[in-house]
A = this chain, B = another copy of it.
Amino acid sequence: MDGGGKSMPAKDTTKLLKQLRQVMKGTKNMREAIQALIVPSGDNHQSEYIAPCDCRREFLSGFDGSAGTAIVTQEHAAMWTDGRYFLQASQQMDSNWTLMKLGLKTTPSQEDWLIKVLPEASKVGADPFILAADQWKNLSKAMRNAGHTLVPVKENLVDLIWEDQPCRPCEPLLVMDLSYTGMSWQDKIVQQRAKMAEKHASWLVITALDEIAWLFNLRGSEIQYNPVFFAFAIIGLNSIRLFINETHMEDPVVREHLQLDCDTAPSFKIQVLPYESVLSELQTICSNMTAKDKVWISSKASHALCEAVPKMLRLQTVYTPICIAKALKNAVEVKGMRRAHVKDAVALCELFAWLEEEVPKGNITELDASDKAAEFRRQQEKFVDLSFSTISSTGPNAAIIHYKPTPHTNRTLSMNEVYLLDSGAQFRDGTTDVTRTMHFGTPTEYEKECFTYVLKGHICLGSAIFPSGTKGHLLDSFARATLWDHGLDYLHGTGHGVGSFLNVHEGPCSISYKSFTDEPLETGMVLSDEPGYYEDGSFGIRIESIMLVVPIQTKYRYLNRESLTFEALTLVPIQTKMINVELLTRKERDWINLYHQSCREVIGVELEKQGRLQALQWLIKETQPIAD
C-alpha cells in the first residue's frame, strides 16, 4: 500500500480489529456469534452525507472517502470502494485491509467474496438500521442461496468498541415561514393524507431527513452541507408522531411553529417522542392494526423499520409521496431558487474575475480558489453554508471526478492547464450547484474539441423538448450523443435532483443511464445538467447548470399531452475561449448567445446593484456573442 512521498500515515487498525473480532464471537448483547460483520457507510436514515458519530466505517478502517463498505471476518478485513477512492483508500488503510476495487472485472462482489471466505452455514451480521430494506433483501437472498444467513445485529458492534465516539449532534432548528416554503406544514400534512387515502394507507413512515425537514418546514445543521436534523416521523390519518431529541422542543420559536402549546385540532397535534423510540412505537402501531390498514414505507428506509411492519400490512414503494411532492417546487420555492442562483452567479463572477487577475501571478492554488469562492458566497444574503465539498481542480486533478483538494494534493492554477470548479451553496431561499471549466491561458485544440463536445451535450439535453411524464433516464443519451460519435464518454450520470434549501442531491428524479426507478419529469422539478469528459492524468471537463422543468408550447399537441423543457436557473458564463465554434451548429451558437444574454441581463443588474464592478466588467467581456 505504497502511497508515495506525500501520503499521510495509514491508521493502525490492528487493535481495533482484534476488539471487533472479539465482540463478533458473541457477547452479553448478542445471542450468538457472527462470522462476518458488514460495516457500510450510512446512518439510520440512509443519508448520503453523514454526521461524525455515524462514520463507523472510517473509524474502523481509517478510510474516510464518501463511499465504501467494510466487511470483517475472523481472518479478513476487506474494503469495497470505487475508482474515485482507490488511491486514497490504499493510503489511509493499513495492511490489515484488502482493497476491493469496484468496477474492475477481477474484483469479487461482496456476496461472492463472503461466499468464498466463509465457513459453511455462517452468520453474517449487519446493523438493520443502517442497511436499507432493498439492500438487505438482495444481500439476504444471496446469503441464503449460499447456505448462510444475514442476521440483524441489535446493537452496533462498532459502537461497542468506539470509545470516543462523538455524540449525535443536536443543533438549533431553523423555522421556515411561508415566504420560503409557500405551503404550511399543516397543508403538507393534508396533502400527504390525501395521498395515503388514495393508497388505502393509514400510516406513513418517514425516515429520510430531508423529507422530515421539508414536511415540517424546519431546517437543521446536524449534517455538514445538508440543512437537516435527526428525526423520524409517523403520520397517521388523525395523528402525527415526531421522534426527535426533545431538547429541540425547548425552543419557543419551534414550539410556536409546531403549535405544540395550542389547542389545535387533534389531527394536527404533534406528539413529540424520543428519537430512539421509533421502532417500538411502530411495532405498537402495527400490533393494533387490522388487515385492511396499510403502513406506507419506502424500500429505501432501513431494514429494521420495514421489518417492523408485517408483510400483510406493508405498502412499500421506492419513493414516499413526500419525496415526490418535495421534488415539485411550488411558485414560492421556484422564486427562492431563482434568487439563490442569482446570488451564486454574482459570487462566481467575482471569483472568476479575481482568478483572471491572480492566476497569471502564479500564486493561486486549488485551495485558495476554493476558499475565495466560499468567501464570495458568504458575502451574499441568506448564505447558510456550502452545499457540498468544493471540487477545485486543475490539470490532472480535474480528471478525478469527485476530487477534493487537500494540502497533499493541492496544485497551483496556471496559464497552461484547464481548471474545473464544481461548487455550490445553501442559501435560505435555495440550493445551488454549478460547474464551470476554464483556461487562463490558451487551451490546446484538443482541449477545445473535447470541451465543445461536452458543451454540445449540455445544450442538447438543456434544450430538449419531451412529453410530460417522460422519465429522466430516457434523456441521458442526448447529453452523450456527440461524445459517443467521437468515441468519448463519461462514466457518471448526467443529472440529479436538487432540493430547495435542502440536499443538493435528492430524488426521485434524475437523468442517468444508471437509474430505472426515477419518477417521471414534471413541471417544477429541478435537476442538474452536467455532462463531462475526463482524461486520466491529464485534464477534466464538466459543464453543469441547474435546470428547472417548465412547460413549453409546441407546434402540435399529440393526445393533448403537455410538452416540457428546461430553463437554466444557473446563470454563469460558459467560457467561449474553450469553444471550437466551427463544431457548433447555428442552433447551438444561438443557444450560447441567448444564454449569455440572460446571464448579462439578470446577473449584470445584480452586480451593478451590489456595486461589484470588476465582476460586472468580467461578465460583460465573457458574454460577448459568438460570431457566425
Contact = CB atoms under 8 A, between A and B. Distances in A.
Contacts of A147: 291, 312
A484 B474 CA distance: 13
Interface string A52-88: 0000000000000000000000000000000000000
Interface in A454-486: 464-467, 470-471, 473-478, 480-481, 484-486
A216 interface: no
A476 B474 contact: yes
B487 A554 contact: yes
Nearest to A476: B474
Interface in A294-350: 311-312, 314-315
A361 interface: no
Interface string A504-539: 000000000100100000000000000000000000
A471 B515 CA distance: 12
A476 B513 CA distance: 12
A144 B312 contact: yes
Interface stretch (A389-397, A555-563, A572-580): A555-563
A470 B145 CA distance: 30
B561 A489 contact: yes
Contacts of A311: 144-145
A488 interface: yes
Q: How large is the interface on A (under 10, 10 to 19, 20 to 34, 35 or more residues)?
A: 35 or more
A485 B465 contact: yes
A460 to B, nearest CB: 9
Given A474-B473, A477-B478, A478-B481, A487 B563 contact: yes
B558 A488 contact: yes
Contacts of A473: 474
Nearest to A564: B484
B513 A484 contact: no
A556 B474 contact: no
Contacts of A476: 474
A145 B314 CA distance: 8
A275 to B, nearest CB: 31
Instruction: Determine how many copies of this chain the complex contains.
Output: 2
Contacts of A563: 484, 487
Contact of A475 (B477, B488, B489): B477
A315 B480 CA distance: 35
Nearest to A490: B558
Among A291, A311, A477, A480, chain B packs the most CB atoms within 10 A around the CB of A477
B291 A487 contact: no
A586 B558 CA distance: 28
Interface in A556-608: 556-559, 561, 563
A484 B465 contact: yes
Among A467, A487, A516, A555, chain B packs the most CB atoms within 10 A around the CB of A487
A511 to B, nearest CB: 11
A299 B274 CA distance: 45
Given A556-B486, A558-B487, A513 B474 contact: yes
Contact of A557 (B145, B485, B487, B559): B487
Contacts of A488: 556, 558
A555 B485 CA distance: 8
Contacts of A484: 464-467, 563
A391 to B, nearest CB: 21
A536 B580 CA distance: 46
Contacts of A516: 516
A86 to B, nearest CB: 15
Contacts of A475: 477
Contacts of A558: 487-489
13 contacts: A145-B311, A147-B291, A464-B481, A466-B477, A466-B484, A467-B489, A474-B474, A474-B477, A474-B513, A484-B563, A487-B554, A487-B561, A488-B558
Interface of A: 144-145, 147, 291, 311-312, 314-315, 464-467, 470-471, 473-478, 480-481, 484-489, 513, 516, 554-559, 561, 563
Given A470-B513, A471-B513, 9 more contacts: A144-B312, A464-B481, A465-B485, A474-B474, A474-B513, A477-B478, A486-B556, A487-B563, A488-B556
* Nearest 9 A/B pairs, CB to CB: A487-B554, A487-B556, A516-B516, A486-B555, A488-B558, A487-B557, A474-B477, A465-B485, A466-B484
